[in-house]
Amino acid sequence: MFNYVVVGAGMAGSIIAERIASQLNKKVLIIERRDHIGGNCYDEVDENGIIRHLYGPHLFHAKNRDAYNYLQQFGEWSVYNHRVLAYIDGNKVPIPFNFNTIEQIFPQKLAQKYESKLLEHFEYGEKVPILELIKEEDQDLKYLAQFVYEKIFVNYSAKQWGMKPEDMDGLVTARVPICVSRDDRYFHDRYQAVPKRGYSSIFKAMLSHPNIKLLTNTDFREVMEIKSEDFYLFDKKFEGTLIYTGQIDELFDYKFGDLPYRSVRMHFETVDSEWYQEAATVNYPNDYDFTRITEFKHIHPVQSAKTTILKEFPQDYIKGENTPYYPIFTRENQERYQKYLEHSKAFKNLIMLGRLAEYRYYDMDSIVTRALEVFKEKVVGN
């Protein structure tokens, strides 16, 4: 009955299913464990009439137009430039760290000196990673870099990842920049937008093709099983292709051990006030147990006497109890993942796709691009 089975109705699974159905005119069965489509991008309208993202804020931004063009087919999008404040020493200041931040934190003369030094060493508009700035011989720039590292990054990352800063992968620390400009936007990509009616409407349109059949509230193991190097669907050998977007270690019964993830406990609150905070997101690097608060009316404007906020509390991922969000990048974990990857290659009709299946972090634009690439290279190409 089906040429393809896709496990997972998140961004990666939904895109590749849509492409197979619409471009190849093939039958696709999507198996989704949750009771909804859209994966972690899923959103819904709450009792206050506000669109809230159930798994944390998801904001589309991209440097190239291809991913944006693809998503625009499935609904209207609004231009949206995300702005984030950080609660530092009792003040809320814009991040990434830029000239405006410097002037709000430091005395005027000191701020002017830091700005002049940055312009002497870097181009206006440049984004300088903190770890690069710390290597500068100029003591003022070195002090500035150390200040940002300690006030913005260290404690936030320790909460986020549940480990000491010195144990973190260097790629994580390298993502903390200072912007040599007054651009207060959190992202500086050319295309930045959110769907007018929420992401769920986009996924609904994406999966509405008659060639797509969807099973929600269904675990992969309820309808498929692995025997030797073959897959069986509804107790019959499956001759088509399986595209798997779930956890790679779960697929193979954890035979090489668990791959660890970080999870997040999402705590929503209704506030009896028109607005709660000055920006969509305020980060709390050094205070409280949560990492950030997001107010969704900034992202999806609506008239409401009340407002909805989300506090995020990072925590360890525990199988069967919470949601895996972020792969933990250590050498040991990557070596374990490589064992699973090599094992997966024994299955000729298996394609691994997405954050959990490939054990890597993808931004939204990256996963759109990745899904479209995999469709061209591994589906059409075969």
Query: pLDDT for 317-371, tens place per residue?
Result: 999 899 999 998 888 999 999 999 999 999 999 999 999 999 998 999 999 999 9
Q: Is the model's pLDDT at 167 over the cut of 70?
A: no
Alpha-carbon distance values, 276 to 82, 291, 308 (Å): 17, 17, 8
Tell me, yes or no, whether 221 and 347 share the same domain: yes
Tell me, yes or no, whether 100 and 139 share the same domain: yes
Q: Is 333 within a domain?
A: yes
Tell me, yes or no, whether 27 and 140 share the same domain: no
Q: Is 256 within a domain?
A: yes
- Per-residue pLDDT reduced to its tens digit, 269-314: 999 999 999 999 999 999 999 999 999 999 999 999 999 999 999 9
Tell me, yes or no, whether 99 and 173 share the same domain: yes
Tell me, yes or no, whether 113 and 220 share the same domain: no
Tell me, yes or no, whether 19 and 138 share the same domain: no
Q: Is 236 within a domain?
A: yes
How many domains are there within the chain? Answer: 2
Q: Is the model's pLDDT at 375 over the cut of 70?
A: yes
Of the candidates 216, 161, 175, 208, the residue with the CA atom closest to the CA atom of residue 363: 175
pTM for the full model? 0.93
Q: Is 63 within a domain?
A: no
Q: Is 23 within a domain?
A: yes
The CATH number assigned to the domain holding 372 equals: 3.40.50.720
Q: Is 227 within a domain?
A: yes
Tell me, yes or no, whether 97 and 169 share the same domain: yes
Q: Is 84 within a domain?
A: no
Tell me, yes or no, whether 112 and 165 share the same domain: yes
Tokens at residue 362, please? Answer: 């993808």
**In terms of residue numbers, what domain contains 246?**
4-37+207-260+329-380
Of the candidates 344, 343, 368, the residue with the CA atom closest to the CA atom of residue 355: 368
Query: How does residue 215 score in pLDDT terms, banded at 50, 70 and 90?
Result: very high
For 164-184, what is the mean pLDDT?
Answer: 74
Tell me, yes or no, whether 175 and 100 share the same domain: yes
Q: Is 221 within a domain?
A: yes
- Rounded Cα–Cα distance for residues 277 and 274 (Å): 10
For 113, phi then psi, to 5°, come to -65, -45
If DSSP codes are grouped into helix, strand and coil, which group holds residue 279?
A: coil
- Quote the radius of gyration of the chain (alpha carbons, Å): 22
Tell me, yes or no, whether 171 and 211 share the same domain: no
Cis peptide, bond prior to residue 96, ω within 30 of zero = yes
Q: Are strands 77-79 and 191-195 parallel, antiparallel or unpaired?
A: antiparallel
